[in-house]
């Protein structure tokens, strides 16, 4: 959710599908994840696809 001032500047928004689906045994939820497969590193930082948002910023041409 964005404020009104920023909402005026949004030109587009989409989901960037970069994360592959994983089997439950390698899921981020540790309920099914054996401790030997869990690594607390940057590759386990998120299990969600990010949003890509286009903005028109002040001072831009056009």
What's the pLDDT tens digit per position in 6-43?
899 999 999 988 776 766 666 666 676 677 766 777 66
The beta-strand segments (E) located in 1-62 are 10-15, 51-55
Q: Does the pTM exceed 0.75?
A: no
Q: Which residues contact 28 (CB under 8 A, 6 or more apart)?
A: 44, 47
Could you state, in order of their start, the residue ranges of all structural domains in the chain?
4-55
How far apart are alpha carbons 50 and 62 in whole angstroms? 27
- The confidence score (pLDDT) of residue 48 equals 75
Reported as a pLDDT band with limits 50, 70 and 90, residue 45 is low
Fill in the DSSP letter of residue 35.
Answer: G
Of 38, 14, 33, 13, the closest CA to residue 23 belongs to 33
- The confidence score (pLDDT) of residue 33 equals 67
3-state secondary structure of 62: coil
Asked if the model's pLDDT at residue 61 lies above 90, the reply is no
């Amino acid at each position: 959710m964005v404020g009104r001032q920023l909402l005026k500047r949004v030109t587009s928004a989409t989901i960037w599908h970069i994360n592959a689906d994983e089997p439950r045994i390698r899921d981020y939820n540790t309920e099914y994840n054996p401790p030997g497969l869990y690594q607390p590193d940057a590759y386990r930082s998120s299990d969600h696809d990010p949003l890509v948002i286009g903005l028109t910023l002040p001072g831009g041409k056009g």
